[in-house]
Structure formats: C-alpha cells, structure tokens
C-alpha cells in the first residue's frame, strides 16, 4: 500500500489529545509532534520494543501518527501495545496506512460536532477536512484499472 503524507493540521484536528503531551502545549511542526509522541508509549502501556518495532516498520512519522490515533481513541482500546503490534504487522504485510485511521477519527469528530451543533474547527479548515475525507473515501472505494483494460473497454464492438 502506498503511503501519502498526511498534513500536520489534519492529524492535529483528528488527534488533538496529543497536544496535551507537547511541551508548552503547542505543536507547530512535525518535530513538536514527534517529541510529544515519544511521551505517550509508557502512558499507554506500550513497551519499548513494541514502539521500536513500530517506528522501524512504519517510519518515525507514521508510527507517531498511529500512536496519536491510539492515544485519541483512549478507552476504546483495551491493549494499546497489542493493538500497535497488530498494526505494525499489518504495515509489514502492506495492509495498513494511517490515512483511513485519521479519516475515521476526523469523520467521527465532525459527525459528533454536527449532531451537537458545535463547531470548533474554522469554516475553511472544516471544509478542507471534509474535502480530504471525501477524496480519501473515493480513493479507497475505487479499484485501479490499467490503461490496457481501459482502452479495451473503449474499443467499439
């Protein structure tokens, strides 16, 4: 599975809880995000070897994004270390990327805010988040078609 980069703003909108771990409570750059993510594993009961395996398999940024999502889900995950290990295995098998996880968190947050009438995300950022969600859902639901197949389907019979 190819991994496209997630914008930091989208990740922070989906996982605002990680900001609580940041020094000074500000996450302005990826280095701030990565530093905050380094604090979370012991808090979640994730042992150092599971975290090391995740960073080796996913890369530092993707592992941090995954950890932020796990941190955001909180009590919904009974065994954060086991969950991280399963996701790490899925990455190695080419069956996991962070996009769907982050998009699901964003969608749940937007749906929750829409149903309660609360809007913390500014209009432009909310629209951008919805566009990203819609584009990712379309991408996930389409099957890639080769040019050869496309051309054969376009030929008159």
Residue pair 102/82 in contact (Cβ under 8 Å)? The answer is no
User: Residue 80 pLDDT > 90, yes or no?
Assistant: yes
| Beta carbons within 10 angstroms of residue 12's beta carbon | 17
User: Residue 93 pLDDT > 80, yes or no?
Assistant: yes
For residues 13 and 106, what is the distance between their CA atoms, to the nearest angstrom?
A: 7
> Which residues make Cβ contacts (< 8 Å) with residue 85, sequence separation at least 6?
50, 53, 54
pTM, entire model: 0.72
Position 108 scores a pLDDT of 86
Position 116 scores a pLDDT of 72
User: What mean pLDDT is predicted for residues 48-72?
Assistant: 97
């Amino acid at each position: 599975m190819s991994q496209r980069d997630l914008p930091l703003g989208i990740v922070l909108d989906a996982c605002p809880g990680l900001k609580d771990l940041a020094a000074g409570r500000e996450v302005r750059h990826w280095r701030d995000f990565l530093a905050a993510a380094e604090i979370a594993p012991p808090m979640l009961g994730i042992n150092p070897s599971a975290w090391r395996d995740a960073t080796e398999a996913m890369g530092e940024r993707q592992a941090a994004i995954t950890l932020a999502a796990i941190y955001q889900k909180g009590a919904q995950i009974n065994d954060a270390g086991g969950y991280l290990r399963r996701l790490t295995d899925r990455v190695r098998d080419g069956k996991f990327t962070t996009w769907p996880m982050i998009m699901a968190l964003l969608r749940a947050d937007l749906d929750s805010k829409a149903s309660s009438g609360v809007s913390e995300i500014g209009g432009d950022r909310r629209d951008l988040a919805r566009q990203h969600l819609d584009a990712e859902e379309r991408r996930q639901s389409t099957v890639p078609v080769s040019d050869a197949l496309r051309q054969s389907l376009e030929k008159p019979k």
